[in-house]
Amino acid sequence: MFLGSGNFVSSSFYQSTVTVEAGRGAGDEQLRIDRTSGEVKAASTLADKTGGLSGAPQRTITAHGIVGMINLQRGAYMVLITGREAVGTVGTSTVYRVSETKIVKVAADNRVVPGFDAVDEATYLRLLESALAVKSFFFSYDMDLTNTLQRQQQQTGENSGESSDLYKTANDEFFFNKYLAEPLMAAASSSQKAGVFVQPMIHGFFACKQVAIRGTVFNYVVITRRGRKRQGARYFSRGADEEGNVSNFAETEQI
Could you tell me the pTM of the whole model?
0.87
Closest CA to 197 of 5, 47, 51, 26: 26
Residue-wise pLDDT tens digits, 155-170: 876 665 455 789 999 9
Average pLDDT over residues 123-148: 93
Average pLDDT over residues 144-157: 88
* CA–CA gap between residue 201 and residue 219 (Å, rounded): 22
Q: What angle do CA 135, 140, 141 make, to 5 degrees?
A: 135
Q: Where are the alpha helices (DSSP H) in 107-158?
A: 115-132, 149-158
Average pLDDT over residues 34-55: 76
Residue-wise pLDDT tens digits, 220-254: 999 999 998 877 777 777 778 788 888 888 899 99
In terms of average pLDDT, the best of 40-44, 117-121, 177-181, 188-192 is 177-181
* CA–CA gap between residue 41 and residue 32 (Å, rounded): 5
| Residues in Cβ contact with 154 at an 8 Å cutoff, skipping those fewer than 6 apart | none
- DSSP 8-state secondary structure symbol assigned to residue 224: E
Give the count of beta carbons closer than 10 Å to the beta carbon of residue 66. Answer: 23
Check: CB of residue 230 under 8 Å from CB of residue 248: yes
The yes-or-no verdict on residue 136 having pLDDT over 60 is yes
Q: Which long-range contacts (CB under 8 A, 24 or more apart) does 228-236 make?
A: 228/173, 228/174, 228/175, 228/176, 228/178, 228/179, 228/203, 229/173
* CA–CA gap between residue 206 and residue 15 (Å, rounded): 41
Residue-wise pLDDT tens digits, 91-122: 899 999 999 999 999 998 777 777 888 889 89
| Residues in Cβ contact with 222 at an 8 Å cutoff, skipping those fewer than 6 apart | 205, 206, 207, 252, 253, 254, 255
- DSSP 8-state secondary structure symbol assigned to residue 194: G
